[in-house]
Structure formats: C-alpha cells, structure tokens
Amino acid sequence: MIPVNAILGLGLIIFFIGLLGVLFRKNLVIMLMSLELLLNGVNVLFAGFSLHLRSPRGSIFAIFVIIMAVSEAAVGFALVLSYFRRKKTYDADDLNELKG
Amino acid sequence: MITLAIFLFFAVLAVVSAVLVILQKNAMHSVLYLAFTVLAIAGVFFTLQAEYLGAIQILVYGGGIVVLYIFVIIIVNLKEVVPERRKLLPKLFIIVTPALLLAQIALVVVRNRYAVAAGEGPGLDLAALADMLLTTYLVPFELASILLLAVLIGAVIIARKGDMHDPR
C-alpha cells in the first residue's frame, strides 16, 4: 500500500528538479534533458492516480505524454544540431536573433 | 509494506539521480544519470501496477531517447563547458519562482484530502487499458501516429545539411 501523498510528492519533486534544470542551466542539451525530467514527473502522477482511482485513463494519458516526449526530443535535437552547425555553440544565451 | 519499501527505494534513487543530472558539468555524465533516473522511474511504475507503462518507459526512454542523446553529444562533440552566468533580474526570478513552487508542493503534499492509500486490492486490468485505448481513445491514438510521422519528416528536414530548396 502506497500513500497518495508519497506518489504526489515524488512526481512533484521530479517535476521541480526538471524545472530547476531548465531555469538554471544554459547548456541546450542539458535543458532538453531537464524537459524529459519534467514530463517524467507528470507521468508518475498519472500512473499514481490511475492506480488510486482504479481507472486505466491515467496510463493511457501517460502513454500519450511519452509519445509527445519522444517527438519533442527528436525535433529538439534536430534544432540543436542545425543551431550548432551555424553558430558552433550550445549556449542558450546566444539564441537572441531571429535571422539565421 | 514490502511494496512501499520498494517504492521508496526507487523513489529515492530517481530523485538523487535527477538532482545529479542537472548538477553535472559534463553533458555525457548527465546522460548517464538521466538513464539511471528513467530506469528508476520505470521501477516506480512497476510498483504502481502500471506494468505496460514501465515496459514502455524502459523501451522508449532507456532504449531510444538516451541513445539519441548520446549520439547527439558525440556528433556535436560537447566538450567545452558553457559558462553559467546570469544577470541580476533573471537570477532573482529563477530563485523566487522555484522557491514559491517548492512551497506549493509542500503545501499540497502535506495537507491534501486524499487520505486513502493507493494500491490495495487487485491491480489494474491490462485488457481494460487496451480496450479503452483502441475504442474510446482511438482518434488521439491515430493522431499520435500522424504526429510521429510529421516529427520524422520534420526532424530530417531541420537537421540536414544545406538549404531546404537544395535538391541534393
């Protein structure tokens, strides 16, 4: 038996760590990793409440979140690669102009 | 009781390695800790009786995304360390916002109204999940496949060398 508070705490703490990573780090690749952490925290909440409410809807929604995470990682990496090819850097602070 | 112990083991593992992901200077070390985090979260899914989700987590994250990260880091040769410098106002913002969110998390976790513990009685039915996924949620399921196709084409077009109108 797992208390709901423990699941809630775990999911929110992982989400919080991911948010800290996105806000503090400036390396683009590590920012993308922190986004994965954010989505994983949300997935823990979905799985926990799916069990708590005895409904498979939470698991189904978590599957869609995973699909979305995969898409985001692929497109994000494509953007990082093309950015790196032009600028030779991964610093998020250099992303300050609109023209390529 | 044993379920709770296993849950706590994987939870502590996930949180510690998640902290290590964002603290590493070298991006390759971050990826290894990310793999650790993802597998620990898969263990959490198994203890939450979401076996399908755990298996998908291991296959997609552990087998797909982590390898993608490693390949990209090898391609861009991510050796040099990006200097972590911030101006004052963003620094204030990135300290105050997480602090407020942490307070909110503590408030939610300590005084929520879900007094009942999860995970008693029989587990979730995998057949019910499959049935619901392929009947009630059929349209989002098909839309997800279209999204993946669009991502496949889009990522290739964005990441390829040269101009988009260049036929080579």
Chunked into runs of 10 residues, chain A (100 residues) has average pLDDT values of 84 90 85 92 92 86 93 90 78 71
- B34-44: per-residue pLDDT in tens? 999 999 999 99
How high is the ipTM of this complex? 0.90
Fold of B1-96: Four Helix Bundle (Hemerythrin (Met), subunit A) (1.20.120)
- Residues of B (84-143) whose Cβ lies below 8 Å from A: 84, 94, 97-98, 101-102, 105, 108-110, 112, 114, 116-121, 123-125, 128-129, 132-133, 137, 140
Can you tell me the distance from the alpha carbon of B81 to that of B78, in angstroms, rounded to the nearest whole number? 8
**Taking the CB of residue A57, how many other CB atoms lie within 10 A of it?**
16
Fold of A4-88: Helix Hairpins (1.10.287)
CA closest to B10 among chain A residues: A10
The DSSP-derived string for A8-30 is HHHHHHHHHHHHHHHHH--BHHH
Q: Identify the residue whose tokens are 């290894």.
A: B32
Can you tell me the distance from the alpha carbon of B100 to that of B121, in angstroms, rounded to the nearest whole number? 37
Q: Identify the residue whose tokens are 């597998």.
A: B39
Can you tell me the distance from the alpha carbon of B21 to that of B36, in angstroms, rounded to the nearest whole number? 9
A43–B57: do the CB atoms touch at under 8 Å?
Answer: yes
Delimit the domains of chain A by residue range: 4-88
B144–A57: do the CB atoms touch at under 8 Å?
Answer: no
Length of chain A counted residue by residue: 100
